[in-house]
Amino acid sequence: MANHQSKIRIDLTEYKIIHKFKDTLRKIQLVSNNICFGPIPDPKDEVEQRLTITADGRVWLSRYRFSSELIEKRSFSISEEAVKKIMKRVSGFFKNGDPDCLATDIGFWDLVLTNTSGKTFKFRGSLCRFLCSELGELSDMIRAELARNDLFVFDGNPDCVTKIEVGYHRRSNIISKLKHEDAGREYIENERTERLTIDRASQTMEYIRDLGSDRKLTNTYYMPEEITELLDDIWIDGLSEIEGDPPDALVDLNESKEYTLTIFTKHGEKRTVSGTFDKNGLPVDWEEFIENIFTFVSSYGYCELFDKTIYGKAKRRKSDLIFCNVTFEDGGQTYSYIADSDDYCEGDLVVVPAGKDNHEAVVIIESIEYHQADDAPFPIEKTKHILRRYEDEDE
């Protein structure tokens, strides 16, 4: 009975039994089955994989079609470093208990972990990457250490976008003003090129603007989590449907705007679409895609290096008075209060006396200024003081 309780903990607050792996991992046995409700798979489709890994670096793999035909059965060995990494990551994850990754209408995985004492621990979950990102990362690691990109593991090995390249080219003919009216028109050709690359492998997004005359601007963003989210949000078959222009669409002979968009996937697919850079020439889901990029870029557009409110602010003198400019509501009029300490910040909620009766009111600090008494923006004797920082009990 004591041994049984060492493997199982009853969480009364959640009303569920939580199984946890114990001790040192000796063997991993994983069955990944990709059959789900819906259309019956083709007899030649691969639907099940059985993977065994032992602590001494031996690996057994069997793969089956829907017709029960054996696709592959092989055994091989991996390095000591690789097996240690796999055992450590797998045992570390399942020591936390059953992952909450069960859903209907998708495949499943069954896992048996055996420790050095010979005790087995069983776990089960759905074959889906988006239910548990940690299991997705664990699957990627196992595929990498076994050098097998075709393994189902815990997530079914779904295809995903790994890289996007977008090229934009605009060519314009600009009418030049000539000195003599009878000289006719002269056109000057103007070109602009932009390139956007989002790459999962390097976790970077690079945006290049070629302005001509040897002028080029490059912005590179290295933001691992955000880059992954940007690419995960792109449907594997997205950015491919184009509505096209109606038959009577006019063509501007003095300007052309064209684009090329190339999508690369984890399973080695490469898809390219191109056309005119306008509403009907771009993919129908272009707006959603580019707005996500714009939101990402805009969130990192603020630079303190150029911010006058930062570099133009002198250190506070000991004799300075602290004036906090506050508002009672969004977009409301600004009022100035004196703070008796320097522990307030812009955006803080504070309690102040308001009105003729000095009733307490909650306001937000919009900005803070330091002034000498003889340089105060308002008469000191008529300026009220902040009472305290707003706390929940002030409700």
pLDDT digits (tens, 9 = 90+) for 25-57: 999 999 999 988 767 888 999 999 999 999 999
156 within domain boundaries: no
- Are 285 and 363 in the same domain? no
Quote the pLDDT of residue 187: 62
Identity of the residue numbered 204: T
Residue 10 predicted with pLDDT over 50: no
Q: What is the DSSP letter of 105?
A: S
Confidence of residue 383 (pLDDT cuts 50, 70, 90): very high
Quote the pLDDT of residue 1: 38
Q: What span, in angstroms and rounded, lies between the C-alpha atoms of 199 and 222?
A: 10
Last residue of a domain, one of 113, 146, 179: 146
Last residue of a domain, one of 146, 177, 201: 146
387 within domain boundaries: yes
- Are 181 and 276 in the same domain? yes
Domain range for 174 is: 161-299
Quote the pLDDT of residue 225: 87
- Are 98 and 135 in the same domain? yes
Note the helical H segments in the chain: 2-7, 80-94, 133-146, 224-232, 286-299, 308-311
Last residue of a domain, one of 267, 299, 331: 299
pTM over 0.95: no
Residue 240 CA: distances (Å) to CA of 169, 235, 266, 284, 320: 19, 10, 17, 8, 62
* Between residues 110 and 316, the one the model is more confident about: 110
308 within domain boundaries: no
* Between residues 309 and 186, the one the model is more confident about: 309
356 within domain boundaries: yes
- Are 47 and 179 in the same domain? no
Quote the pLDDT of residue 185: 60
- Are 174 and 97 in the same domain? no
Quote the pLDDT of residue 130: 78
Sign of the Cα pseudo-torsion (40, 156, 126, 131, in order):
negative
- Are 374 and 324 in the same domain? yes
Quote the pLDDT of residue 186: 64
- Are 220 and 184 in the same domain? yes
Quote the pLDDT of residue 316: 86
Question: What does the mean pLDDT of the chain come to?
Answer: 88
Give Cβ neighbours of residue 183 (< 8 Å, ≥ 6 apart): none
154 within domain boundaries: no
380 within domain boundaries: yes
Quote the pLDDT of residue 77: 97
Residue 268 predicted with pLDDT over 80: yes
CA angle at 46 for the pair 45 and 48, rounded to the nearest 5° = 140
Quote the pLDDT of residue 175: 62
- Are 140 and 244 in the same domain? no
**Phi, psi values for residue 38, rounded to 5°:** 130, -155
Average of pLDDT values for 217-231? 93
Residue 15 predicted with pLDDT over 50: no
Q: What is the CATH number of the domain that holds 130?
A: 3.30.1560
Q: Which of 228, 231, 238 is nearest to 285 (CA)?
A: 238
- Are 267 and 335 in the same domain? no
* Between residues 18 and 211, the one the model is more confident about: 211
Query: Domain count of the chain?
Result: 3
- Are 6 and 142 in the same domain? yes
310 within domain boundaries: no
Pairing of strands 255-265, 359-371: unpaired
Residue 181 predicted with pLDDT over 80: no
151 within domain boundaries: no
Quote the pLDDT of residue 30: 97
- Are 114 and 13 in the same domain? yes
- Are 260 and 360 in the same domain? no
Evaluate whether 115 touches 21 at the Cβ level (below 8 Å): yes
